[in-house]
Amino acid sequence: MDHSGHGMDGMNMDLPPFTLARGLEFGGDPFFLVGCLLGLGLYGWAVIRLRRRGDAWPVGRTVAWAVGLVTVALVMCTRLNDYGMAMFSVHMVQHMVISMLSPILLLLGAPMTLALRALPAAGRGRKGPRELLVALLHSRYMRIITHPAFTIPLFIASLYALYFSPLFDFLMESRAGHIGMMVHFLAVGLVFFWPIMGVDPGPHRPGYVMRMLELFAGMPFHAFFGIALMMATEPMVDTFLHPPSSLGIEALADQSAAGGIAWAFSEIPSVVVLIALVFQWYKSEERQSQRADRAADRNGDKDLADYNAYLASLNARSR
């Protein structure tokens, strides 16, 4: 099957050779553009609402959310989206950013915590947006989709089951299919990293060591996927079999570049999340230490006095 005019009603036919400057030109995919602006607007409204009430909200969280939305916009609202329909390497950049970088930044923004604090309570016996959100967070559905037994296989299947089956080619035949795929990648990234990041409330609250194990359980599969693409001796995905001649690229070389991107990207989120987890762990230990100090101040170091008395009794007994 010839895919030379593949996707977007033949718009790929006359794409000039790829450069970063061309790729970052505004392409304005309306779906993601509206989504990013809506996400920014709602978050801003919630922060302003808290501030007017006299409550603080960490600037770092607002920055993380905004940068997360910018990363989505960069890969989906620019010409990268056009090039991603014709070049495996550019598509892989889109996939990796939207499934592994954007979710981490968005989760560091703690949108659920912000929503729970900003939304007004509906009042006794009534259900408003806040009550519905609380019910959703505590639902059996949410317990299932955020459980490692679900998230890790889903994270892995999003690579292997999609790219190495006819489903990928089917979705890439239309812009709607491509957008649906990217929404799926973003959603999978969010549910995979949500319990690991542990910033927002959720059904699963594993300890820090368990979170690190969950993180490292998924990452090697990304590396293996990248290596498989790099080592392949023939193109493995029909969509990118015949790139437009105007691009001046060769399918196998472009696939190898895509594999290199997938392999390299598997390390980036691991490092970012690991730094975030270590920082959270440190802050948690610091809070526990402060609580213990305050308790000691309240009871006049009673625990220490009791321990010294216990040692003294042992000493008296041994004489």
CA dihedral 48, 51, 56, 60 (to 10 degrees): 30
Buried b (16+ CB within 10 A) or exposed e, 212-221: bebbeebbeb
Confidence tier at 48 by pLDDT (50, 70, 90): very high
For residue 5, pLDDT beyond 90: no
Question: Do 93 and 75 touch, CB atoms closer than 8 A?
Answer: yes
Separation of alpha carbons 245 and 4, rounded Å: 8
Backbone angles phi, psi at 122, to 5 degrees: -80, -20
Separation of alpha carbons 142 and 136, rounded Å: 7
Q: 147 versus 315: which is more confidently predicted? A: 147
Residues with Cβ < 8 Å from 279, sequence gap 6 or more? Answer: none
DSSP tag of 121: P
Other CB atoms within a 10 A radius of the CB of residue 256 amount to 18
Strands (E), the chain: none
- Tens digit of pLDDT for each residue in 132-167? 888 778 778 888 888 888 888 888 888 888 888 888
Task: Provide the terminal-to-terminal Cα distance of the chain, rounded to the nearest Å.
Answer: 94
pLDDT over 70, % of the chain = 86
Separation of alpha carbons 188 and 207, rounded Å: 22
For residue 238, pLDDT beyond 80: yes
Separation of alpha carbons 119 and 65, rounded Å: 18
